Amino acid sequence: MGSATTVNIDDHIIVSQLKQIADNNMDDTDKLVEEYISNLSMTTIDMSKSLWDVHILNMKTSQAEAISVLRFHHSLGDGIALMYLLLSCFRKSSDPTSLPTLPVSSKDKSNLSISNNRKNIRSLMWQYLVKFWLFIRLLLNTVVDVSLFIATALFLKDSQTPFTVAQGFTKSTRKRFIYRTVSLDDIKFIKSVTNATVNDVILGITQAALSCYIHQRYDVEVKMKSSLQQMRCRATVLGNLRPALGVQAVAEMIEKNAIVVQGNCLGFVIIPINIAQ
């Protein structure tokens, strides 16, 4: 748990002195922002003060009128914890005294009612058989996943691709963060059409983008292009392990010493990415 400390805001708010591109070329401005963030990856947060800082880039880009970059040390918490903390600083526009609310999935109560068919012995036996088969599938999938995880840690490595971490990579190695903005309305539309989840759609978009990139990269080299069929590429997807308890006020969390939304509470899944398509 953290402890109360005195924070000097001026030590954590950095206003960049970057100047707007003279001809307002948005592509050059976007690259300038990417360059600035890339340079941040080569520096570390000062451990003598609170482990966060905010960089304000007062320049217009193709996506926004200005940019702010928030940098946090991972010991402060994972992404969900930080988003809970951020939401706790806001209030509803309809009720300035109320905190934002988050949708919470409710249990389907229709399954709680017992129909006449379930009283039938044959129907009950069929239900038990289905549940037993689902349990066996869960058990087998768990054994396979654990075995693959152990094999990955020992010897089953990904193929050498442009996505593979290069040898000699260290924490001080310069990194570049490339991003693309995707409309949430488009994601919801695809989700409805395919009867999938938002996470499924985002993973599919990521896989399609990586596949297009690698095919363009290997298009001129027939030998390398033929090796795409044997290419092994996997991604680590993080998942939140917290129950959805809603947003609490910062003062209330501090007063009650709440630990539900603080710290790191996450799991991860290794998912194969099909590059050959």
Question: In which band, very low, low, confident or very high, does the pLDDT at 239 lie, cut at 50, 70 and 90?
Answer: confident
Q: How many domains does the chain divide into?
A: 1
- pLDDT digits over 120-129, tens only? 777 788 888 9
Active site residues per annotation: 74
* pLDDT, mean of residues 194-217: 86
User: In terms of pLDDT, which residue wins out, 74 or 163?
Assistant: 74
Phi, psi of 15 (to 5 degrees): -95, 115
Q: Please tell me the predicted confidence (pLDDT) of residue 32.
A: 86
Question: In which band, very low, low, confident or very high, does the pLDDT at 110 lie, cut at 50, 70 and 90?
Answer: very low
Q: Please tell me the predicted confidence (pLDDT) of residue 113.
A: 47
129 domain residue, yes or no: no
27 domain residue, yes or no: yes
Q: What is the largest CA-CA distance in the chain?
A: 80
* pLDDT, mean of residues 173-193: 84
- Summary mean pLDDT of the chain: 78
> Which residues, including other chains, have CB under 8 Å from residue 60's CB and lie 6 or more apart?
20, 24, 26, 29, 66
Tokens of 42: 């080569």
pTM of the model: 0.66
Full residue range of the structural domain in which residue 21 is found: 10-76
17 domain residue, yes or no: yes
* pLDDT, mean of residues 2-25: 75
37 domain residue, yes or no: yes
Distance between CA atoms of residues 244 and 102, nearest Å? 8
For residues 32 and 18, the answer to whether their CB atoms sit within 8 Å is: yes
